[in-house]
Amino acid sequence: MRPLRSINNENGSAIVIALMLLSLLTVMGIWSTRKSNVETLIAGNEVARKQTFYRTEGGLIEGAFSIEEADTGVLSSWAADWLSEADAAPDMTDPANWDFDQVGGDDTAVPSEVDGDVGFCALDKGVTSGDSLVMTGSSQVRTYAVYSFHDSRDGQALMEVGYKRRF
């Protein structure tokens, strides 16, 4: 009858239950810590992605302002460092063609005045057909492709936008 008596003995059961609850809470704590670390990494990547996007977009805006503010003589002769004739320029949609380090004289773009990790350039695609036939004067509309490129440890982005200017 002694074995039956030890089965009915509940001494120490509180310790076993407490250890089980403590183990469960420890596992839940480890899980939530790992989940919050992953969420923090995801949020950091999202911030870096947005910064890369907006920095590159800033280069586009600077390129468009450069076209708008440039003298017509500079635009028609492609005399600006950031401007090239579209037929003579390399493919600016290929990141390998981007060079704006201002070393060696082989630059295909210029660095942004606001952000040195961003470069921009514009390609003159010529007189826009259909928009340039004005009966009262010699005004013409030219089409440009403005490119901006950002490359840093936060990411890489390349953007292109079309721009038209009448002169």
Residue 131 predicted with pLDDT over 70: no
CB atoms within 10 A of CB 148: 28
Residue 129 predicted with pLDDT over 90: no
Q: How many residues are present in the chain?
A: 167
**Do strands 110-111 and 83-85 pair parallel, antiparallel, or not at all (unpaired)?**
unpaired
pLDDT band at 128 (very low <50, low <70, confident <90, very high): confident
Share of the chain above pLDDT 90, in %: 64
pLDDT band at 158 (very low <50, low <70, confident <90, very high): very high
Mean pLDDT on 19-24: 94
How far is 116 from 101, CA to CA, in rounded Å?
Answer: 9
pLDDT at 7: 61
Distant-in-sequence, close-in-space partners of 56: CB < 8 Å, separation ≥ 6: 118, 148, 149, 150, 157, 158, 159
Residue 41 predicted with pLDDT over 80: yes
